[in-house]
């Protein structure tokens, strides 16, 4: 493996480039981004050795990563499997998996593709947001492993191992349903909490003077990029809508108890929610675990 192309030079693609370049200085990295400013920044930050148009980059590559919005991945996937070298491996890093896998399920070169979702990120975006060690100790999911060739799968596993990730295997539908609850719903709740408070601020001047660390923590994801998240929500709309219905149901029930001054029921709901503590302690410990 000598030439690696990163399509999408943002937080996700840029962070992968940083770690893989460090791990193996012999590799050559080509960047592809339709935004010329991202190309310029990625070169300046030394994330890649050169930038090229997609077609040229792919023709020269042994390994290609797709780190672009999931709508763009869905469009590009069949085309890339058409034109890429027959020994090359294509890995997508999108946060949804069902529609992407479906887009290439009948493709004759399907075995060259590995459908992955490394669960890592921050609320920032663009090449300057790329972080060394972003993936260290985090989970990675590979879907439909049985549809990738042994060689492609081995290449992908080696990459994610180099990044310090723990890879598990799932089917696309299970993946999408689970991330609807565990990731996408968090983002929606945060975006709309931000919107609600920004709205309130129009009437209540200087409301943000009173904001503390709790507010900051809960609303942090409202800083996330709509370019990345609108496509994710679209592709996972069914499961996300189901998760939203359940969340709204709980909020309405809570509001009703509040209006009825039913202290006991309010208390019980919060006591139940407290059961999230050991789960969160586990996530924090995993994030703070030393490098392997």
Q: Looking at residues 152 to 211 of the shown chain, list those that interact with its own copies (rule: CB under 8 A).
A: 168, 174-175, 177-179, 181-183, 185-200, 204, 207-211
Residue 75 binds its own copies, judged by CB under 8 A: no
Beta bridge partners of 29: 4
Interface residue with its own copies, options 138, 143, 144, 148 (CB under 8 A): 138
Span from 12-20, 27-35, 143-151, 249-257 in contact with its own copies (CB under 8 A): 249-257
**In angstroms, what is the minimal distance from the CB of 46 to its own copies?**
26
Burial label for 87, CB within 10 Å (0-12, 13-18, 19+), is exposed
Rg of the Cα trace of the chain? 21
* 60 or 269: CB nearest its own copies: 269
Q: Which of residues 213-242 bind its own copies (CB under 8 A)?
A: 213-224, 226, 229-230, 233-234, 237, 240-241
Residue 292 binds its own copies, judged by CB under 8 A: no
Contact at 8 Å (CB) between 50 and 170? no
**In angstroms, what is the minimal distance from the CB of 275 to its own copies?**
6
**In angstroms, what is the minimal distance from the CB of 172 to its own copies?**
13
For 15, 99, 195, the CA distances from 234, given in Å and listed in that order, are: 25, 10, 20
Q: Rounded to an integer, what distance in angstroms lies between the CA atom of residue 206 and that of residue 263?
A: 31
Burial label for 29, CB within 10 Å (0-12, 13-18, 19+), is buried
Q: Which of residues 108-127 bind its own copies (CB under 8 A)?
A: 119-123
The residue with tokens 């049985």 is: 146
**In angstroms, what is the minimal distance from the CB of 133 to its own copies?**
13
How is 166-203 classified by DSSP, letter by letter? EEEEE-HHHHHHHHIIIIIHHHHHHHHHHHHHHHHHHH
Residues in contact with its own copies, counted by CB under 8 A, come to a total of 92
Contact at 8 Å (CB) between 155 and 63? yes
Site string (42-71) toward its own copies, x via CB under 8 A: ------------------------------
Say whether 174 sits in a helix, a strand or coil.
helix
Beta bridge partners of 6: 31, 65
* 34 or 223: CB nearest its own copies: 223
Span from 47-55, 74-82, 86-94, 279-287 in contact with its own copies (CB under 8 A): 279-287
Span from 22-30, 40-48, 106-114, 269-277 in contact with its own copies (CB under 8 A): 269-277
Residue 136 binds its own copies, judged by CB under 8 A: no
What the block records as the tokens of 273 is 């929610």
Residues 6+ apart with CB under 8 A from 231: 69, 70, 71, 72
**In angstroms, what is the minimal distance from the CB of 225 to its own copies?**
8
* 109 or 242: CB nearest its own copies: 242
Residue 289 binds its own copies, judged by CB under 8 A: no
């Amino acid at each position: 493996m000598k030439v690696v192309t990163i399509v999408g030079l943002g937080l996700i693609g840029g962070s992968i480039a940083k770690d893989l370049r460090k791990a193996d200085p012999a590799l050559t990295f080509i960047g592809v981004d339709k935004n010329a400013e991202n190309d310029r920044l990625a070169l300046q930050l030394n994330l890649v050795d050169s930038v090229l148009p997609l077609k040229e980059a792919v023709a020269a590559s042994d390994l290609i990563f797709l780190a672009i919005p999931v709508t763009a991945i869905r469009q590009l996937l069949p085309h890339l499997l058409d034109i890429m070298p027959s020994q090359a491996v294509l890995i997508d890093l999108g946060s949804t998996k069902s529609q992407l896998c479906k887009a290439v399920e009948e493709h004759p070169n399907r075995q060259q593709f590995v459908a992955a979702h490394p669960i890592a990120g921050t609320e920032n975006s663009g090449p300057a947001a790329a972080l060394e060690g972003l993936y260290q100790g985090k989970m990675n999911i590979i879907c439909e492993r049985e549809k990738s060739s042994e060689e492609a799968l081995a290449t992908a596993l080696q990459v994610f191992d180099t990044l310090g990730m723990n890879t598990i295997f799932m089917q696309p539908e299970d993946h999408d349903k689970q991330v609807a609850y565990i990731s996408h719903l968090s983002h929606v709740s945060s975006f709309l909490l931000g919107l609600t408070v920004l709205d309130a601020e129009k009437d209540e001047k200087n409301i943000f003077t009173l904001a503390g660390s709790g507010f900051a923590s809960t609303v942090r994801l409202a800083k996330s990029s709509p370019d990345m998240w609108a496509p994710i929500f679209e592709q996972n709309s069914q499961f996300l809508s189901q998760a939203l219905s359940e969340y709204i149901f709980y909020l309405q029930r809570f509001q009703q108890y509040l209006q009825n001054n039913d202290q006991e029921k309010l208390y019980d709901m919060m006591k139940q929610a407290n059961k999230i503590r050991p789960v969160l302690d586990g996530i924090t410990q995993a994030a703070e675990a030393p490098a392997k």
